[in-house]
Amino acid sequence: MSKKHDFILFDLDGTLSDPLQGIGRSINYALAHFGYPERALDDLRFCVGPPLKYSFRELTGTDSDAHVRELIDKYRERYGDVGYAENTLYPGIPEALAAIDAAGIPMGLCTSKRADFAERILDLFGLRQHFYFVSGGDVDIHKWEQIAALVADGIVSRASLMVGDREVDIDAAHRNGLAAGGVLWGFGSHAELAAGAPRYLFSQPAEIYPALAG
């Protein structure tokens, strides 16, 4: 099989698994600790994908970097204990990754989530063996910067493909000259993803591997 892309970068939250319960409950844990009202889980859907600092700024109205750091630390207290495991794998993901792996196309994970949390989630679902590496983010790191570092280090090339469910994934790929694929089963709407002009829009995981064939 000829290959359209030499490497596939996958987002995690909203792309491989649905993390809303664990993320939402951990956000509420942090909010409640500092006296803010808790939110319904559906009202926290916008928090899945972008870095936490933006979510906590919007939820609390604070402009204090130090307070945002406190909120994130409190969030991670619960998330690292139980929140990471309050996660549901999307149907068809194991099969899609296995097909790509079997075709000899290498994959990596590029997530705004801290790398150790991402590793634990992949281990939870028995998916870690499919990925050459896990690139995790932190408070002041943007996903486009993560990809830029991977390109600069020669780990991925501009022939690679970034697959994710939010506009931030599409933008991160395009800023670095990579193609992007948007998935419609996650937390980004069709309109949000289409506005970013990805090369691919996938409606189910089974569509990813066929699109990679030359």
Give the catalytic positions in this structure.
11
Q: What are phi and psi of 60, to 5 degrees?
A: -110, -20
| Alpha carbons 130 and 102: distance in angstroms, whole number | 10
Dihedral angle, C-alpha 32, 37, 38, 43, nearest 10 °:
-150
CA dihedral 179, 184, 189, 193 (to 10 degrees): 10
Residue with tokens 């600790």: 33
Tokens 């993320």 correspond to what residue? 23
